[in-house]
Amino acid sequence: MHLLSAESAHRRLRPRPLHRLMRRRSLHGPLSDGSGGKKKIGGPLMTSLRTCVKATLPPNPLPPFYCCPPAPASEPINFTLPDPAEPLRVRRPMHAVGAEHMARYERAITLMRALPHSDPRSLYQLANVHCAYCTGSYRQTGDPELNVQIHFSWFFFPFHRAYLYFFERIAARLLGEPGFALPFWGWDVPEGMRMPAEFSNSSSPLYDPVRNPAHAPPTLVDLDFAHVENNLTDEQQVQQNLRIMYKQMIGNAALPSLFYGQPFRAGQSDRPGPGTVELTPHNTMHTWTGDLTFHNVEDMGTYYSAGRDPLFYPQHSNIDRLWEAWRDVGAARGYRGHVDFTDSDWLDSSFLFYDEEARLVRITVRDVLDIDKLRYRFDGVGMPWVDARPPPTPNVNRNKGSSSLKSVRFPLSLDAAVTVEVRRPRVLRSRREKEVREEVLVVEGIESDGTEMVKFDVYVNAMDYEKVEPSGRELAGSYLCLSHPSMDGTGKGMRTETSMRVALNELLEDLGADGDESVTVTLVPRHGKVNIAGLKIVYMME
């Protein structure tokens, strides 16, 4: 294999801007086929460079301001799996991979930065891939008035896996090392709960000055972070992180749609609802890393700029590893819900990336489900959070019952903590029924203006919620959304609307509330302004 020169890669691309075939239109109007009827919603989601447009970013963004990739000389080719004879890439944790391997990653970043911005393999363009798929630059091929946003839906894991696959192969080609593997930042295990020292060295190509300086090593990561520092000891922080990981990987992740996120089909509005790991720890780690002195918490703390930080790629390598870990835990412990979707709308949806030869490639979700076939694997850490099931907090649910609750009317602006009694449609379910159906609390119509990070916590049966630790059993889940840098024609933030789901089967058993006719749900705002449309309990089977 020969290294493709920057000049030859550039010649293969047409040095012209993308042709825009449509004007920016309202994203919230009814879908019409021209005959007065509504369009059919359904089918795989597709994107095209022809419908990639310049996103309108918030005030004072950091350049660049145009995230669509360079136009290709020909139509995209379909992805083909690598040759089984290729070297197997072994991704190992940064805290154990060694200085020599980290030096290779530094060299890869240096080579990517040295390429012309017009080269799709440059770090400039690779960072823009995330920007284009996360800010509304891409529109749906069949419905160009509708955005494509790969977060807050079932595309979160497969998109980022494909993204890293091409990033890793480009790095290997530039280095001239076919077996080069991207390391991962193992912040879910105690040994990896610090930012690696290489990233805090201002003379290293891995350094990014737009990070939170308070979180340089030896500070431990906080998987519940939201703009406020805690005063935990290192031992307490490790325990909290492990318990949060248990909740997000096991307790709240009993079904594919709870772990991956909600279905997002062609013709449908984006952001139907995120999965557990996307909210926490993915979003919290982005916020923990970004620079809070910037309104948008750049670089890592907002979607358009996150890919500019070299820490982004090891961070998402760990997210990719957690996908495999969720499957492995399910297989080892007999959790029947830890399986992939079989829906063709998911499997056949596709994304566009440039490969190591500067060819535009269309890759489907189906293509990335088996990492053995993609010729890489993970090694070097365990899963200590598997047995970190949080214990209930004593004496936090006194005076439970509707008689002690104030009347609450939805929709509401979550300006202060509110507690609501939510009736359970079914009580005293059999063990068999619980194995088949998960009881789920749905927080509906979560709406914000998208211009700032938003976080609120959801407590179950915790009238005295202030006594519950962030890793406490009664803290059923946390909603955390990074700022969505998308503005409308008036300069105001485009309102974002989504939903959140919290699994209740295991939680109610642990709280001794499985036979209760209702639960109390407390919503506690932590940062930003958000509206909530309502709460309900449903029973899901997948």
Decide the pairing of beta strands 496-503 and 438-448: antiparallel
Query: Which sign does the torsion angle of CA 448, 128, 76, 372 carry?
Result: negative
| 363 shares a domain with 241 | yes
Give the residue from 56, 54, 20, 28 showing the smallest Cα distance to 489: 56
pTM score over 0.85: yes
Instruction: Dump pLDDT digits (tens) for 370-403.
Output: 999 999 999 999 999 999 999 999 999 865 555 5
User: Helix, strand or coil for residue 227?
Assistant: coil
Nearest-CA neighbor of 472 among 462, 482, 483? 462
Query: Per-residue pLDDT for 428 more than 60?
Result: yes
Mean pLDDT value of segment 464-481: 96
Same domain for 66 and 145?
yes
**In a shared domain, residues 416 and 374:** no
Distance CA 291, CA 281 (A): 18
In the structure encoding, which two tokens stand for residue 8, read together?
Answer: 């030859």
- Say yes or no to pLDDT of 94 above 60: yes
How many domains would you assign to the chain? 2
Do the domain assignments include residue 34?
A: no
Q: Would 24 be classed as within a structural domain? A: no
Same domain, yes or no: 259 and 305: yes
436 has a pLDDT exceeding 80: yes
Q: Are 335 and 423 part of one and the same domain? A: no
CA dist., res. 110 & res. 203, Å (int): 12
CATH number at residue 506: 2.60.120
pLDDT at 467: 96
pLDDT tens-place string over residues 174-184: 999 999 999 99
3-state per-residue secondary structure call for 175-223: HCCCCCCCCECCCCCHHHCECCHHHHCCCCCCCCCCCCHHHCCCCECCC
Q: Which domain holds residue 466?
A: 412-540
Cα separation, 136 vs 138, whole angstroms = 5
Which phi and psi angles does 31 have, rounded to 5°?
-85, 125
Nearest to 108, CA basis, from 95, 132, 89, 133 = 89
Q: CB under 8 Å to 540, separation ≥6 — which residues? A: 255, 257, 258, 437, 438, 440
Residue scoring higher pLDDT (8 or 65): 65
Considering the domain architecture, whether residues 438 and 359 belong to the same structural domain is answered as: no
Instruction: Read off the pLDDT of residues 489-515 as tens digits, 9 standing for 90 and up.
Output: 444 556 789 999 999 999 999 999 999
Domain assignment present for residue 481? The answer is: yes
DSSP 72: B
Annotated binding residues for Cu cation, as ranges? 130, 151, 160, 282, 286, 316
- Cβ-Cβ contacts under 8 Å for 295 (sequence gap 6 or more): 58, 59, 60, 452
Instruction: Return the closest-CA partner of residue 248 out of 532, 530, 66, 471.
Output: 471
Whether 124 is in a domain gets the answer yes
pLDDT of residue 39: 64
What is the per-residue pLDDT across 8-46, written as a single tens digit (0 to 9) for each? 333 333 333 333 323 232 223 333 333 344 567 899 999
- CB of 266 closer than 8 Å to CB of 140: yes
Same domain, 339 and 430: no
Residue of 78, 111, 116, 102 whose CA lies nearest to 3: 111
- CA neighbours closer than 13 Å in the CB half-sphere of residue 44: 15
Distant-in-sequence, close-in-space partners of 46: CB < 8 Å, separation ≥ 6: 140, 141, 142, 266, 349, 350
How large is the average pLDDT for residues 404-419? Answer: 92
Specify whether 328 is located in the same domain as 446: no
The token duo for 420 is 């609501």
pLDDT at 197 over 60: yes
Mean pLDDT of 127-135: 94
Predicted pLDDT of residue 435: 87
Q: What sign does the dihedral 277-246-465-501 (CA atoms) show? A: positive
The last residue of one of the domains, among 359, 378, 397, is 378
Asked if residue 384 is part of any domain, the answer here is no
Residue type (1 letter), 5: S
- List, in sequence order, the alpha helices (H) in 301-343: 312-333
pLDDT at site 489: 45
Q: Note whether 358 and 217 are same-domain residues.
A: yes
Residues of the chain above pLDDT 70, percent: 89
Nearest Cα neighbor of 404 from 394, 419, 392, 382 is 419
Residue 45 DSSP SS3 = coil
Cβ 66 vs Cβ 17: under 8 Å: no
Whether residue 19 is contained in a domain is answered as no
Let me know whether 304 and 449 are in one domain.
no
User: Across residues 401-422, what is the average pLDDT?
Assistant: 88
For residue 339, count CB atoms less than 10 angstroms from its CB and return exposed for 0-12, middle for 13-18, buried for 19 or more: middle
Q: Is 231 part of any domain? A: yes
Give the CATH number, domain containing residue 361: 1.10.1280.10
Q: What is the mean pLDDT of residues 214-227?
A: 96
DSSP 8-state class, residue 302: B
Domain termination residue (choose one: 378, 404, 422) = 378
Q: Are residues 193 and 339 in the same domain?
A: yes
CA angle (448, 451, 452) in 5-degree steps = 85
405, part of any domain: no
- Please state, in angstroms and rounded to a whole number, the distance separating the CA atoms of residues 411 and 377: 46
Length reported for the chain: 542
Whole-number pLDDT of residue 513: 95
Q: Which residue has the higher pLDDT, 454 or 20?
A: 454
Q: Does the pLDDT value for residue 300 go beyond 90? A: yes
* Same domain, yes or no: 207 and 78: yes
Nearest residue to 251 via CA among 520, 538, 513, 504: 504
